[in-house]
Amino acid sequence: MCRPTYFDVTYSINPWMHPDRPTSTQTALSQWKLLFETFAALGHDVHLIEPEPGLPDMVFAANGAIVIDNKVLVARFRHPQRVDESEAFQAWFTTGGWSTVRQAEFINEGEGDFLFTGHEILAGSGFRSDLRAHEEVAEFFGYPVVSLELVDPRFYHLDTALAVLDVGEIMYNPRAFSQRSRAELAERFPDAILAGEADAAAFGLNALSDGVNVVLPQAATGLAAQLRERGYQPVGVELTEMLKSGGSVKCCTLELRR
C-alpha cells in the first residue's frame, strides 16, 4: 500500500475525476489509515511504498505491478500523469528480494487489469491495458490469460468491475463487459455473484478477498448481503474520498504473492 500523502484530483483520466470538485488530503489519509488497520486486524502483513510528490494517484498501488510466484511485472501506464509511478515500483521490488523483476513492454496497468484466480489470469482491455499485454503476461507468468473487454468508461479497469473471491469464485458487474465477455464469464463462472447497479456505482466490486473476509466499500450493502449468503464475511470500509479519483479498496492494495 501507499499512503495518500499527496492525494488530490488535479487532472482527469477517468469519468470519476473532476479537478474542480473539492478534495481533502486529510480525509483521504484518515480513510486510508482505517483500511490499513482493517487489513492488519484481519491478520494480513502490509508493506508500504513511500509516496512521491507530484504523483497523487500513487496511492492506488494495485496499478503498480502484477506479482505472482515471486515474479514481478511492473506496470507501464497509458497516461503521462502516471508514467513516473513505474520507476518507483521498479525500485521498490528490485531491492525487495523478488526473483524476477522487469517492466512490461506493452501498456499494462498492473492488478487494475490483471486478476489472478489461482489457476488463470483474468485480463481487462478496452480503456487502459493493451491487448498485446495479455500475451506478454501469459508468457511471463506461465498461466493462461482470459481476455475480457470493458465497455463502460466508468469501469475503466477490470478491478472496478470484477473481484476474485476465491479459487473459481468471483463477483462482477455484467453491464461493464461486452456481450462476448459476458458470455465468457457466464460460462466460466456460472455461480458468480452479480452486482446490481447501485453496488457497482459505489465501487462495491473494487474489493479484496482473502477467501474468508471480503473488504469492500460499506455503501455496497446489496453485495454484502449476497456475500454473507455465500459464507463470506463482508467487512465494510469508507473510502469516499478515493472514489473522487476513481478508486477504492482494491485499487489501494497490491497483492504480493511469493
User: First vs last Cα of the chain: how many Å apart?
Assistant: 16
Written as nine digits, the cell of 6 is 499527496
- b/e code 5-36 from CB counts within 10 Å (16+ = b): bbbebeeebbebbeeeeebeeebbbebbeebb
Which residue, 182, 40, 7, 24, is CA-closest to 172? 182
Active site residue 157: yes
Catalytic pick among 2, 18, 134, 157: 157
CA 184 to chain centre: 21
Catalytic pick among 2, 47, 79, 251: 251
Which residue, 173, 174, 252, 167, is CA-closest to 216? 252
Enzyme catalytic residues: 157, 251
